[in-house]
Amino acid sequence: SQISAELNSRYLQLPKNLDPRVAQLGAEITGKARTSSEKASLVEGYLKRKYTYTLNLTWNPGPQPLSTFLFEAKSGHCEYFASSMAILLRTAGVPTRLVNGFLMGEYNPVGNDYIIRESDAHSWVEVYIPGTGWIEFDPTPPDPTQRDVNLATQISHYVDAIQMFWNSYVIV
């Protein structure tokens, strides 16, 4: 089905003075894809395989942060991954939008709730698929420094459950 003119004008916008290498990379990654969904999957996979997640940015973004991320630094946080996917797909004619929110958080089996921390803030991409609508894609690779649940985490689950109980049943 056709993409409306409103979708095209709003969700295919590109930054002014976009580095031409970005459009070239977008064409290289998506060149063999036939559909918007295939293009999105190719870009998502490319970013997850070729780049590294880090919160410790040791590089200077300069006047074109997207180009610096894609062609020099090749490591960054979720905003760089999501922005890169959105712009790479837009250069290939696929409408996209950025989403900022929170991940599910950490499940606390003691309190039967989820612990949502500031560190759970995340950015991802929604891609418009004709005939389907907006579909979520997350090009950010896993954090290589993420640790398994340890004793301190288990103790923090009990502390969180006690605080939640206190706030819910004692303080009214």
- Catalytic site positions: 78, 122, 138
Q: What is the 3-state secondary structure (H, E, C) of 73-137?
A: HCEECHHHHHHHHHHHHHHCCCCEEEEEEECCCEEECCCCEEECCHHHEEEEEEEEECCCEEEEE
More confident of the two residues 62 and 106? 62
Structure-model confidence comparison of residues 104 and 127, the more confident one: 127
- The helix (run of H) or strand (run of E) holding residue 165 is helix 151-165
pLDDT-derived band at 8, boundaries 50, 70, 90: confident
Q: Which of 8-17, 26-35, 99-108, 112-121 has the highest mean pLDDT?
A: 26-35
* pTM of the model as a whole: 0.74
* Whole-number pLDDT of residue 149: 47
Q: For the purposes of burial, counting CB atoms within 10 Å of the CB of 2, is it exposed (0-12), middle (13-18) or buried (19 or more)?
A: exposed
Residue 40 one-letter amino acid: A
Check residue 71 and give its pLDDT: 97
Given the structure tokens 């929604």, which residue do they identify? 126
For the segment 18-34, the average pLDDT, to the nearest whole number, is 97
For 45-60, write each residue's pLDDT tens digit: 999 999 999 988 899 9
pLDDT for residue 2 is more than 80: no
**More reliable by pLDDT, 46 or 159:** 46
Task: Tell me whether strands 52-53 and 75-76 are parallel, antiparallel or unpaired.
Answer: parallel
State residue 138's pLDDT score: 92
Give the mean model confidence (pLDDT) for residues 127-142: 92
